[in-house]
Structure 1
Amino acid sequence: MTPADMVLTPRGLRFGGQVYPCTIGKGGLSRTKREGDGATPVGIHHVVGMLYRPDRIAAPAPWATPIGPRDLWSDASGQPDYNHHVRAPYAHSHEALRRADPLYDLVIVLDWNWPDAKAGRGSAIFMHRWRRPGFPTEGCVALRPDHLAQVAARISIGTRLIVPS
């Protein structure tokens, strides 16, 4: 581990000398992540992108990509673009990145099952804001909005998120 790593601990996300409270998937941690199991995958994950709602927040980093009305994430296992950013119209199963709620106003994209996605291994493992303290995700790591913004401002492409078993 390096000081630049983000590390999931029982107390929260350790990063930059601080521990940020966070939530994980409702399925707990998993070494055998499957699509729809609600689990957060164990392993070393790398930041591969950052998305944000420009109509709601300022760019959190110079390399962040704005989310537009047609932006989606494919969770269509077996499709060539499974676990990738896609745009509407999109005929297969997907998740909208531009949501009515603020959950995805800022999204840190991790390389779980990416770029060469294996069917059924899970998609859309992100870091994003939590709904409320202690409320689990569908497999993502979620933080308080101000903490997420602090982390986003200090990471870069390739920063590691370590999720120990």
Structure 2
Amino acid sequence: MKTIGSPKSLASFFHFLGFSPKSKQFQCHKYHSITVLFSFLYFFCPLPVESQGNSPPESPLWNSEQILFITAKAGETTGYLDVYTLNEGEWTSVLEKIPVRLGRNGLLSGLEKREGDGNTPTGVFPIERIVGKQKKQIRNLEYTQIRKHYHWSDSPTSKNYNKLIKHREKGAVLLWDSTIYDLFIVIEHNTKPAVPGRGSMIFLHSWNEDKPTSGCVGVSKEVLETLVSVLDGDKKPSISIQILD
């Protein structure tokens, strides 16, 4: 199976989005394809991975065969989710142009993200962990079934800052009491290591309210269930969150 870095698979992705590299001018079948293309090019270029603090990764390219693209204009609190997976050398669509809710102050570079600023951080993040209240079988990804005493620390002064903990702690958020934490995908912003004050609890979770999130990415419960069902750790899934000019 070819990876995202393969020229052939890249050409296939151009073709899938409605572009013909052989023509004198790229022609797009629909405007939204352009936004996904820009996000893909950002993902493909050798840029630092913002989820890992200030330390660049060993390799600038992700070897991913499943990509979640989240795109929005600067300052907007709504955006779109597109999901693609590589099967037998061809990129295929899983979900297209799914509305998402973003932080109350829109998107902001993950390097500038700060605790409580209301921004959703941009960057390219590996998908490694899923958390939920129900027993689930997740393909080749870490899954944690939370209990009533599980918390997530968002206190910059805590040694457990931006970590899932199995006990009560001052300043930590109890996950059990909120329906938005029934199931969520961890967006690995500021997790390895967690730098105090650089932002915590950045998740892709269910969100049915007609208002922005506090800094996460919100989707409908149905979409989230679909995402979790198709994710496969063997494909090294990633999520790309980008601002559109």
State whether TM-score is above 0.5.
yes
Of the three residues 23, 28, 47, the one matched with 2:106 is: 28
Report the equivalent of 1:109.
186
Output the CA distance in 2 between the equivalents of 1:139 and 1:107: 14
Matches within 5 A, 1:108-127: 108-127=185-204
Of the three residues 124, 128, 144, the one matched with 1:44 is: 124
Q: Which has the higher helix share?
A: 2
**Secondary structure of 1:120's match?**
coil
Output the CA distance in 2 between the equivalents of 1:149 and 1:142: 13
Report the equivalent of 1:142.
218
Where does structure 1 lack aligned partners over 5 or more consecutive residues?
Answer: none
Output the CA distance in 2 between the equivalents of 1:35 and 1:107: 20
Of the three residues 88, 98, 103, the one matched with 2:167 is: 88
**Secondary structure of 2:199's match?**
coil
Q: How far off its partner does 1:131 sit?
A: 2.9
**Secondary structure of 1:138's match?**
coil
Judged with a 3 Å threshold, the aligned counterparts in structure 2 of structure 1 residues 151 and 60 are, in CA distance, closer, same or farther, namely farther
Q: How far off its partner does 1:14 sit?
A: 0.5
**Percent identical across equivalent pairs?**
28
Of the three residues 176, 193, 208, the one matched with 1:131 is: 208
Judged with a 3 Å threshold, the aligned counterparts in structure 2 of structure 1 residues 147 and 26 are, in CA distance, closer, same or farther, namely same
**Secondary structure of 1:42's match?**
strand
Judged with a 3 Å threshold, the aligned counterparts in structure 2 of structure 1 residues 119 and 152 are, in CA distance, closer, same or farther, namely same
Q: How far off its partner does 1:60 sit?
A: 5.7
1:71-94 per-position Cα deviation (integer Å, ceiling 9, x unaligned): 10001103221000012232x311
Aligned length: 159
Judged with a 3 Å threshold, the aligned counterparts in structure 2 of structure 1 residues 123 and 147 are, in CA distance, closer, same or farther, namely same
Contact 2:204–2:218 (Cα < 8 Å) also in 1? yes
Higher RCO, 1 vs 2 (CA within 8 Å, ≥6 residues apart) = 1
What residue identity is the alignment partner of 1:30? L
**Secondary structure of 2:211's match?**
coil
Output the CA distance in 1 between the equivalents of 2:222 and 2:137: 11
1:122-141 per-position Cα deviation (integer Å, ceiling 9, x unaligned): 00000100132x42111111
Q: RMSD across aligned C-alpha pairs, in angstroms?
A: 1.8
TM-score, length of structure 2 as denominator length: 0.60
Contact 1:60–1:149 (Cα < 8 Å) also in 2? no
What residue identity is the alignment partner of 1:7? F
Indicate the structure (1 or 2) with the bigger Cα radius of gyration: 2
TM-score, length of structure 1 as denominator length: 0.87
Output the CA distance in 2 between the equivalents of 1:70 and 1:97: 8
Q: Does 1:14 align with 2:82?
A: yes
1:89-142 per-position Cα deviation (integer Å, ceiling 9, x unaligned): 32x31111112x42111011121000311111000000100132x421111111
Where does structure 2 lack aligned partners over 5 or more consecutive residues?
Answer: 1-39, 41-63, 73-78, 85-92
Report the equivalent of 2:6.
none
